A and B are shown apart, each in its own frame.
Chain A
Amino acid sequence: MATEIVSPLPGTFYRRSAPGEPAYKNEGDAVAEGDVIGLIEVMKSFHEVKATASGTIKAFLVDNEDAVMAGQPIAELD
């Protein structure tokens, strides 16, 4: 069953820890519950987005550097 990982905060979504670093996770990667899949920058502070379940990343639903709302789905898990 598909599960969605939602953003805990409003802000800007990042797929990598710093420009030039590899993405935390790519589509098709396996994730365990608690794995970091990205960062949310809110008011110049950074917060990790963690997988809320285990599975495989089917798709990212927002792009790197996109603005997100709290509760907005960020990735879909299979």
Chain B
Amino acid sequence: MAPTGKLLIANRGEIAVRIIRAAQELGLGTVQAHSKADADSLAVRLADEAVDIGPPMAAKSYLKIEAILEAARATGASAVHPGYGFLAENAGFADAVEAAGLAWIGPSGAAIRLMGDKVAARGAAQAAGVPVVPGSDGHVASLDAARPVVARTGFPVMIKAAAGGGGRGIRIVRDEAEFERLLPQASAEALAAFGDGGLYIEKLVERARHVEVQILGDGDRVVHLYERECSLQRRRQKVWEEAPSPALPPDVRAALCASAVALAAAVNYRGAGTLEYLYDDTSRAFYFIEMNTRIQVEHPVTEMVTGLDLVREQIRVCLGAKLRWRQEDIALRGHAIEVRLNAEDPAADFRPHPGTITGLRTPGGPGVRFDTMLYAGYTVPPFYDSLLGKLIVWDEDRTTAIARLRRALGELEIEGVPTTKALHLALAADPEVAAGRFDTTWLERWLETNAARLGVVKEAVG
């Protein structure tokens, strides 16, 4: 049965454009909720209707639940798609959308809450038989409680403040003497900084790769769409993503993907979701770290290697349809790579730089896709993230995909703002990247020696 109704997009940028495209193909009406800074955006131009939800600052528009619900009421929307970022993983927003009688394009508020809580998510993973990073199962606050944990995990370990987050309050400890000295200190500091002296202890998986499994559920049944590898990161931001991972042997891939399905099925997952893992390619062990309960930036590489439309299917199942695919219908074919073009100058410590796009030449040809919100004359506002677009290529294998990426990057011209194109051209020509020999710390080490030669063409910068 074809879905009906009107979808309100509570997001902006390239993902808003991506969602509008999926909704239009499904025959749904589209309403773009936008801040004053985005009145001229491509999403506003493409949607059937647009509603101003407030000032440029995200806290006063894209994060303002009442303004978004009011926009839905005023336009008669029947469903809300949150995209990624902003309110996409806000359980209270999911609940409020459903309480207003609208369909929420995402998992239930309860599933978001469960997976958003570090301890609860880890417990759910263990209960589903999914390997987690060895460590304490809850908070520890004393040396006596912590000693048996490190006896089990071995060194090195990370001591993390339970109330910390985003990398704050983390210490790496390499031996027992250091552990005995630093644990009480870490607890006292956590108490002073966060008002909570509780700590977690986690084994440090060194030289790990970041792999993640795409899943899709309809509330009853869950399928996976294989994995992506996103090890090339700068300051924990993914820069280059690919599918499949160049590092996984077929038996590990099968076990990894089965574990993701088991965990998602255990929480009756509905919609698109991603389970993130660390992978140690010397021991071939994988460890669940967290689940993202939304569509992700890098979803197109999965679409390219499976031939399936994730956003369209996400909308369909969240409007009540059952999954149309059995696991055996989903095949992996060829190799896909996505690179993120950001309005940043890679030669100047990636300083972001908003501005007006004075010229644009988009790449084309076989196996090339460019997801963007840019058009010539568009002014990139300073208020949001620096993502301008994602260049995605597909080819028969990884080597030909990298060659195609180089070719497509050569065709791409974005004038008026600096971009990270030079970084991607250098990565696409790098022998270590070609060999797939990297981990999550590789790019930052590579940049220490190579950033200086990533100069942008200065005369093109406004």
Contact = CB atoms under 8 A, between A and B. Distances in A.
A9 B56 CA distance: 16
B348 interface: no
A9 B352 CA distance: 10
Interface in B22-56: 56
Given A43-B343, A65-B57, A12 B352 contact: no
B382 interface: yes
A41 B333 CA distance: 42
A44 B386 contact: yes
Given A12-B57, A43-B343, A67 B383 contact: yes
Interface in B384-399: 384-386
A10 interface: yes
A16 to B, nearest CB: 15
Given A43-B343, A65-B57, A10 B382 contact: yes
A42 B57 contact: no
Contacts of B351: 45
Interface in A2-21: 9-12
B300 interface: no
B244 interface: no
Nearest to B355: A10
A3 B207 CA distance: 52
Interface in A33-78: 42-45, 65, 67
B384 A43 contact: yes
A65 to B, nearest CB: 6
B354 interface: yes
A42 B354 contact: yes
B156 to A, nearest CB: 30
Contacts of A9: 382
Given A12-B57, A65-B57, A67-B56, A45 B352 contact: yes
B385 A44 contact: yes
Contacts of A42: 352, 354, 382
B373 to A, nearest CB: 14
Interface in B296-344: 343-344
A65 B352 CA distance: 19
A24 B352 CA distance: 24
A43 B386 contact: yes
Contacts of B344: 43
B382 A11 contact: yes
B56 A43 contact: no
Given A10-B382, A11-B382, A67-B383, A43 B354 contact: yes
Contacts of B385: 43-44
Contacts of A45: 351-352
A44 B344 CA distance: 12
Contacts of A43: 343-344, 352-354, 382-386
Which of B57, B383, B384, B385 has the most chain A CB atoms closer than 10 A to its own CB? Answer: B383
Contacts of A12: 56-57, 382-383
A57 B2 CA distance: 64
Interface string B167-202: 000000000000000000000000000000000000
A44 B343 CA distance: 12
Contacts of B57: 12, 65
Contacts of A44: 352, 384-386
A11 B56 CA distance: 10
Nearest to B55: A67
A45 B345 CA distance: 13
A10 B383 CA distance: 9
A9 to B, nearest CB: 8
A65 B60 CA distance: 11
B29 to A, nearest CB: 31
B235 to A, nearest CB: 10
B275 to A, nearest CB: 25
A9 B382 CA distance: 9
Nearest to B352: A43
A48 to B, nearest CB: 13
A10 B379 CA distance: 12
Contact of A10 (B354, B384, B386): B354
A20 B46 CA distance: 40
A43 B381 CA distance: 8
A65 B59 CA distance: 11
A31 to B, nearest CB: 25
16 contacts: A11-B382, A12-B57, A42-B352, A42-B354, A42-B382, A43-B344, A43-B352, A43-B354, A43-B382, A43-B385, A43-B386, A44-B352, A44-B386, A45-B351, A65-B57, A67-B383
Interface of A: 9-12, 42-45, 65, 67
Given A10-B382, A67-B56, 12 more contacts: A9-B382, A12-B56, A12-B57, A12-B382, A12-B383, A42-B352, A42-B354, A43-B383, A44-B352, A44-B385, A67-B382, A67-B383
Interface of B: 56-57, 343-344, 351-354, 382-386
